[in-house]
A and B are shown apart, each in its own frame.
Chain A
Amino acid sequence: SQTIHQWPATLVQPVGSPLSLECTVEGTSNPNLYWYRQAAGRGLQLLFYSVGIGQISSEVPQNLSASRPQDRQFILSSKKLLLSDSGFYLCAWTRGQGVYEQYFGPGTRLTVT
């Protein structure tokens, strides 16, 4: 069966510090991968998605970036965090072809102080 991992689970970082969040998927190959941010326990904002190694589509962020160095690994980074980067970060995957449901990781709670 497939599983998705995210770490760390919680993170408190000062403004201006770097960020690295990691997401890995097990039990499948060639997944589509997604990073979302959820503010205040509400709507989801799509940040990045990837349909293959090295293929990243950016939706919104100015100071965030994503990378996919391996088939089942998706990394969210920042060189300098802003207060507005605080939130709940969710990674998700779907099967690569066709229309399938997304499976979400447990999330990372980021607080920028």
Chain B
Amino acid sequence: AQSVAQPEDQVNVAEGNPLTVKCTYSVSGNPYLFWYVQYPNRGLQFLLKYITGDNLVKGSYGFEAEFNKSQTSFHLKKPSALVSDSALYFCAVRDHSGTYKYIFGTGTRLKVLA
């Protein structure tokens, strides 16, 4: 069965420092991986995805993610954090079992400190 894990409930980082939000996955077959961000009382917003190709994927708002097949990871990164990046971040994988389901991690709360 497909799954994703976000091992950190919360990540704190100082403004201007690089940030990393971790995600590991378990899939049968090629992984289709996604990152989303959620601000309070809002729906999720798509940030970026990995389907195939370059291991470094660039997305919205200066975010990028690195796909690592050997470590089955898809960590979200940003070179310089902003206070406005503070939000809840979700990693997701598309189910491979012939359905159209997406499996989400439990979310990581990012807090950027001024």
A28 to chain B, nearest CB (A): 15
Q: Would you call A99 and B42 a contact (CB within 8 A)?
A: no
Q: Would you call A106 and B43 a contact (CB within 8 A)?
A: yes
Q: Would you call B107 and A103 a contact (CB within 8 A)?
A: no
Which residues of the other chain, A, contact B49 by a CB distance below 8 angstroms?
A: 101
- A101 and B32 CA atoms in complex are apart in Å by 10
Q: How many interface residues does chain B have, given as a range?
A: 20 to 34
B44 to chain A, nearest CB (A): 4
Chain B contacts to A: CB under 8 angstroms: 32, 34, 36, 40-46, 49, 51, 88, 90, 92, 94, 99-102, 104-107
Can you identify 28 A-B contacts, CB atoms within 8 angstroms? A34-B102, A42-B106, A43-B107, A44-B44, A44-B104, A46-B101, A49-B99, A49-B100, A51-B100, A57-B99, A88-B41, A90-B43, A92-B44, A99-B32, A101-B46, A101-B49, A102-B34, A102-B36, A102-B44, A102-B92, A102-B102, A104-B44, A104-B45, A105-B43, A106-B42, A106-B43, A107-B43, A109-B41
